[in-house]
Amino acid sequence: MILQGKDIEKSFGGLKALNGVSFELGNNEVLGIIGPNGAGKSTLFNIICGVYSPTKGSIHFEGKNITGLKPHDIARLGIARTFQIAHAFRDMTVLDNILTALGIDEYNGIVSMFKLAKKSDTVESAMSYIELLDLKDAANKKAGELSLGMMRRLEIARALALRPKVLMLDEPCAGLSYDDADEFINLISMLKGQKISIMMVEHNMNVAMRACDRLVVLNFGEKIAEGTPNEIQNDPLVIEAYLGKEE
Amino acid sequence: MFLQQLVNSIVIGSVYALTAMGATLVYGILRVLDIANAGAYAVGAYIGMAIYALTGNLFVSLIATLIISGAIGICLEKFIYLRLLDKPSIVPLITSIGVFIFIEDLLRLLNGPYAKRFPAKLPFSGIQLSSVSIPATWILVMVVTAVLLFILWYILYHTRIGLAWRATAQDMETAKAMGVNINLVVALNFLLGYGFAAVAGSLIGIMYNSISPTMGDTPAYKMLAIIVLGGLGNPVGTVLAALIIGLVETFLGGYIGFFLPRDAIAFVALIIMLLIRPKGLFASNNA
């Protein structure tokens, strides 16, 4: 087990967005967080990434308590994330986007910050991520000029360039065409081959069922089910949450 | 005559660039219009003069001016601006105007309201090329500005912190997810931003051999025109806009100066610009 959340609770004002949610992400596993709108998926995601701190409960990464750490510290520990709406640095080239991520270990030192960013070996390693995600032709294009599918790939390439142990994907298939989503599922299995554990929030049931080893289902801030895609598909509570109760 | 005017406008333009760079950097990262940056311009002139009087070394005084004023900038950032970021943008704007007035009056209380001299001895002399004469102080202004702007450009486009700066300017949340320590980026931003404006003030003090508490007034307004022309938060655009304003002021000022004061030209340019290209001449599309 590489990442674990224990009894996470989060209130915004009087509103409880999460109520005692626990999860475990195994080594080299793909875990999906699913649930209807407003279930608390994104809140959980943002708590793990350090955007919010939980009201109660804790997050452990490789056995270390990382609750309440800042986003840049969490990224440095080895938890990389993508965003629900593609957040490429639009005015920078694809290559510069990746180079920004490759600097992750050096942004905290006053001296190392001034290291050159475009040394040939750094650029080479950036190109390897660009090639991995099939973006070579676009390497010197501004990220803002890419199609949505390519921008998502860029985000994943950039997250991989952080050399993470855990990759957090926030609705990676939102807005993608059927073919692009298909390609994405292939990508996930390739990443699994590279010993990266993946946790993804996904709205698209079809994608979640196919891409994930295990699913955690949230509804109204509580965990209502957990299991393999097969088990989840047949869980009456889940069906009820998505489709409503039978009369 | 033409060449003389050209050199003249480059000198003016480079000082404008250095002055406006601080506000550009601050706007680029925090989206705050930092009028107080022009306070650093006046503060820099006084610090420069004091240290020059103490050490008699121009180089030392310029470096010290940059560092001390940069440190003041970092203090303003830590104690004032960072606390106001979640407020509507009018709040930090008004605050920065308040800080600017505070700085001016503090200088007035400490040094008196009258202009003082800043008689610097330069280690080199001016150049006379046929009809063009370039005084030593002008050479100083151009060389120092060029060196500082080159260092800035090099940092922004070739170092880790430069990539981090550009990333943060575009999207702070994502930059954090890349492991960028925003506090360090913003601190460096204020160090250079206030430092540059302070050096610009020192240079102008040396060039005109005169400094006064209110010397930051006109730069404060003109800086706004320049950073808007330059595309708000775009460092390269700011340099180009500053040079353009320098050129226009020098050349047009000679012909229409009798009914339109020289300092008004930048604002006429600003108004025209806002009417036809509100994002500025060199707008980046991340705004």
CATH number at residue A236: 3.40.50.300
Q: Is residue A222 part of a domain?
A: yes
Count the alpha carbons within 13 Å of B200 in the hemisphere toward its beta carbon.
Answer: 34
pTM, two decimals, is 0.83
Is pLDDT at A246 greater than 70 in this prediction?
no
Task: Grade residue A247 by pLDDT with cuts at 50, 70 and 90.
Answer: low
Q: Is residue A199 part of a domain?
A: yes
Domain shared by A247 and A170, yes or no: yes
How do residues B131-188 score in pLDDT, each as one tens digit? 888 999 999 999 999 999 999 999 999 999 999 999 999 988 899 888 898 888 999 9
Query: Is the minimum CB–CB distance between A86 and chain B shorter than 8 Å?
Result: no
Q: Is residue A83 part of a domain?
A: no
> Is the ipTM, as predicted for this complex, more than 0.85?
no
Q: Is residue B222 part of a domain?
A: no
Domain shared by A224 and A149, yes or no: no
Q: Which residues of B touch A101 (CB under 8 A)?
A: 178-179
Q: Is residue A27 part of a domain?
A: yes
Q: Which residues of B touch A107 (CB under 8 A)?
A: 160-161, 164, 178-181, 184
Domain that holds residue A28: 1-78+164-247
Is pLDDT at B286 greater than 60 in this prediction?
no
Preferred mutation among B155, B180, B284 to probe A, highest tally of A CBs within 10 A? B180
Is pLDDT at B255 greater than 80 in this prediction?
no
Choosing from A143, A163, A183, the residue where a domain stops is: A163
Q: Is residue B250 part of a domain?
A: no
Higher per-residue confidence, A90 vs B270: A90
How many CB pairs below 8 A link A and B?
104
Beta carbons of B174 and A49 less than 8 Å apart: no
Beta carbons of A100 and B182 less than 8 Å apart: no
The CA distance from A96 to the nearest CA of chain B, in Å, is: 7
Domain that holds residue B157: 2-216
Q: Is residue B271 part of a domain?
A: no
Task: Grade residue B30 by pLDDT with cuts at 50, 70 and 90.
Answer: confident
Amino acid at A25: L
**Sequence-distant (≥ 6) Cβ neighbours of residue B240 within 8 angstroms:** B230, B281, B282
Domain shared by A221 and A169, yes or no: yes
CA atoms of A50 and A71, how far apart (whole Å): 5
Angle at which helix B58-76 crosses helix B182-208, to 10 degrees, equals: 140
Q: Which two tokens mark A178?
A: 């059927």
pLDDT average, residue stretch A223-229: 92
Q: Is residue A42 part of a domain?
A: yes
Q: Which residues of B touch A106 (CB under 8 A)?
A: 160
Beta carbons of B181 and A107 less than 8 Å apart: yes
Beta carbons of B159 and A115 less than 8 Å apart: yes
Domain shared by A28 and A129, yes or no: no
Domain shared by A172 and A154, yes or no: no
The distance between the two most distant Cα atoms of chain B, rounded to a whole number of Å, is 58
Is pLDDT at B37 greater than 60 in this prediction?
yes
Q: Is residue B221 part of a domain?
A: no
Portion of chain A with pLDDT greater than 90, in percent? 55
pLDDT, residue B16, reads: 93
pLDDT, residue B144, reads: 95
Instruction: Report how many domains make up chain B.
Output: 1
pLDDT, residue B256, reads: 67
Least confident of A6-20, A100-114, B70-84, B167-181: A100-114
Q: Is residue B260 part of a domain?
A: no
Task: Select from B160, B166, B180 the Cβ nearest to the Cβ of A72.
Answer: B180
Choosing from A134, A163, A192, the residue where a domain stops is: A163
Q: Which residues of A touch B174 (CB under 8 A)?
A: 83, 87, 89
pLDDT, residue B250, reads: 86
Q: What Cα–Cα distance (Å) separates residue B59 from each residue in A134, B68, B71, B199?
A: 51, 14, 18, 11
SS3 content of chain A, % helix, strand, coil (to 5): 40, 25, 35
Domain shared by A105 and A200, yes or no: no
Q: Is residue A106 part of a domain?
A: yes
Instruction: Report how many domains make up chain A.
Output: 2
